[in-house]
Amino acid sequence: MVRAGFADEAEVRDTVYMTAMTTCFPGRRPSGGGDRRPSAREVALCAPWLDELLDVLRPRLIIVVGSLALSRFLPGRRLDDVVGNAYTLRGEVAPRDPAGVTLVPLPHPSGQSRWLNDASRRAVLVKALGRLARLRQWACGSAV
């Protein structure tokens, strides 16, 4: 997130509201190697909570992290097709100077994700973080 213009982790935690697609821990994988991915049913059960949260917070900028969040906000899209761009809530590519809520998809930083193992994808991530830095200034209403 430093590459997206944040000074450090403390600034991220002070200025970004983070939540998961589900409101409870899904448990460990049966193999014990990391957290279990929530099922579609679990995500659907938590969707009203997330919808209400978004209604209350009214964010201008939503950072969509990982394929699970991507399936919620930009269904049917793949990380390879969206990372590096920004989108409207309707799934259209956001204009350079957005007027409404803007989505910025990023890969999940988990060690479970293999997305960043490819050098060309890491280059796309750099582009995405640059876009996020510009949109962060817009979302905050001033230069950060």
- Could you read off the pLDDT of 73-112 as tens digits, one per residue? 999 999 999 999 999 999 999 988 788 899 999 999 887 7
Q: Is the pLDDT of residue 121 over 90?
A: yes
Can you tell me the distance from the alpha carbon of 98 to that of 59, in angstroms, rounded to the nearest whole number? 13
| Burial grade of 132 (CB within 10 A; 0-12, 13-18, 19 or more) | buried
CA distances for 97 relative to 4, 100, 101, 133, 139, angstroms:
17, 10, 11, 13, 11
pLDDT value of position 142: 53
CA 98 to mean position of chain CA atoms: 17
Q: Is the pLDDT of residue 125 over 50?
A: yes
